[in-house]
Amino acid sequence: MEKKTENKLGAIRLSPQRRLILEEVMGTKKHPTADVIYRNVKHKLPNISLGTVYRNLESLSENGYIQRIDTGTGPRRYDGDTRPHAHIRCTSCDSLEDLPEKNLLEKFLLRELKTDYYIQEVIIEIRGLCPECQQSDIPEDIRQNPLQVEP
Amino acid sequence: MEKKTENKLGAIRLSPQRRLILEEVMGTKKHPTADVIYRNVKHKLPNISLGTVYRNLESLSENGYIQRIDTGTGPRRYDGDTRPHAHIRCTSCDSLEDLPEKNLLEKFLLRELKTDYYIQEVIIEIRGLCPECQQSDIPEDIRQNPLQVEP
DNA sequence: AAACTTAATAGTAATCATTACTAGAAACTT
DNA sequence: AAGTTTCTAGTAATGATTACTATTAAGTTT
Ligand SMILES: [Mn+2]
Ligand SMILES: [Mn+2]
Ligand SMILES: [Zn+2]
Ligand SMILES: [Zn+2]
């Protein structure tokens, strides 16, 4: 007979650590890094180790509960939203947000794509300056030119 | 009066090392990593150091002669083609190729994009299995599902 | 419930890619 | 020729991630 336990998450166990990490990733739209998650989660579970955070981010994403974001520079980031969607990253403050346009992938890319690859994932990352960073920060002469579309 | 020297590349000098690295990146479509470039270039210039390779890949890309590819997993890759274009990566053998569709970015993405970011770069990476890896390699049960477009 | 088996953890060590540093060489400027 | 700047080889340091190890917790079988 099957044990009545609430501590199961599909194929894997839901330890307190794993639950907390999952909640942390699900509960923000900021696409945090392992390190950020570690620091936040440590408030509630002071003995948790960074290795545990990495291990669980790995198992959670392998089992489809969260998404790894392997784009761009800097440390890897994680996303509680597992639906395929594109991101926009600020090249100055390195913030990472969802693109407002949903289904960008399906709408444009996949239909047009002719390839003999067996396609598993489409990654789209836009890079630029967020509104805040446009104002204050970067001198014109070291600022990259914006991309233009010919009319 | 200005010295007549062939060893200039815009703002930077064209040392033998830098020239060789540039030729190496320009001369392949394989999007090599710093390490691969280092090994290849070492045949002609056995004393070159890995640090020199990194430093020059940096200066060459900063000055717009080559392109850094900061997408995906694993070590950074470089591209002699500086035009914006999308790539497709095999999740099994990790090969990285240009997508046959050119101007994918301009055609689809930029026109549709409504954002208050100052856009500098659009990165598109498709991931999947290359034709070779589809055949032999990966057991069905660990193979990711392909992406589908609803009709 | 006791014994067994498996999964998960904290803590730490190891690895890998990249960056930083340093002293010397080469190129350019005066 | 002397001075200034850029570049180099070699090596050290860093930062993110992965691997390892001994221990604990959970689940299973008897
Ligand atoms: Mn997201
Ligand atoms: Mn390319
Ligand atoms: Zn910003
Ligand atoms: Zn392949």
Question: Can you give the pLDDT at residue B141?
Answer: 57
Q: Report pLDDT digits (tens) over A14-32.
A: 999 999 999 999 999 999 9
pTM equals 0.88
**Residue A91 or residue A40, greater confidence:** A40
Question: Can you give the pLDDT at residue A103?
Answer: 74
CA distance A11 to A62: 11
- Residues B71, B122 contacting (CB under 8 angstroms): no
Question: Can you give the pLDDT at residue A110?
Answer: 78
Question: All domains of chain A, ordered by start, with CATH?
Answer: 9-82 (1.10.10.10), 83-130 (3.30.1490.190)
Question: Can you give the pLDDT at residue A115?
Answer: 86
The parts of chain B modelled with pLDDT lower than 50 are 1-4
**Closest to A99 measured CA to CA, from A119, A79, A116:** A79
Closest in A100, A115, A147 to B121, CB measured: A147
CA B72 to C1' D25, in angstroms, rounded, equals 36
Say how many Å lie between the CA of residue A70 and the centre of ligand 3: 20
CA distance A31 to B147: 23
Q: CA torsion angle for B111, B115, B120, B124 (degrees, to 10)? A: -60
Confidence label for A2 from pLDDT (cuts 50, 70 and 90): very low
Residue A125's beta-bridge partner residues?
A: A87, B123
CA distance B117 to A131: 6
Q: Which value, in Å, is the radius of gyration of the alpha carbons in chain B? A: 19
Q: Is B112 labelled a binding residue?
A: no
Confidence label for A108 from pLDDT (cuts 50, 70 and 90): confident
Question: Does residue A39 sit in helix, strand or coil?
Answer: helix
| CA within 13 Å, CB half, A104 | 27
- Residues A17, A56 contacting (CB under 8 angstroms): yes
CA A110 to C1' D11, in angstroms, rounded, equals 48
Specify the range with the lowest mean pLDDT, choosing from A41-50, A68-77, A126-135. A126-135
Confidence label for A6 from pLDDT (cuts 50, 70 and 90): low
Residue B69's beta-bridge partner residues?
A: B77
Q: CA torsion angle for B95, B101, B105, B106 (degrees, to 10)? A: 160
**Residue A118 or residue A76, greater confidence:** A76
- Residues B88, B97 contacting (CB under 8 angstroms): yes
Mutate which: A91, A96, A118, A149, vs B, most B CBs within 10 A: A118
CA distance A99 to A113: 21
Alpha helices for A47-101 (secondary structure H): 50-62
> Do B70 and A70 make contact, defined as CB atoms within 8 angstroms?
no
Say how many Å lie between the CA of residue B13 and the centre of ligand 2: 25
CA distance B66 to B26: 8
Phi, psi of B46 (to 5 degrees): -60, -20
Has residue A4 got a pLDDT over 50?
no
Place of tokens 């044990």: A3
Place of tokens 């960074």: A50
Has residue A1 got a pLDDT over 60?
no
Phi, psi of B93 (to 5 degrees): -95, -5
Specify the range with the lowest mean pLDDT, choosing from A9-13, A61-65, A109-113, B127-131. A109-113
- Residues A74, A31 contacting (CB under 8 angstroms): no
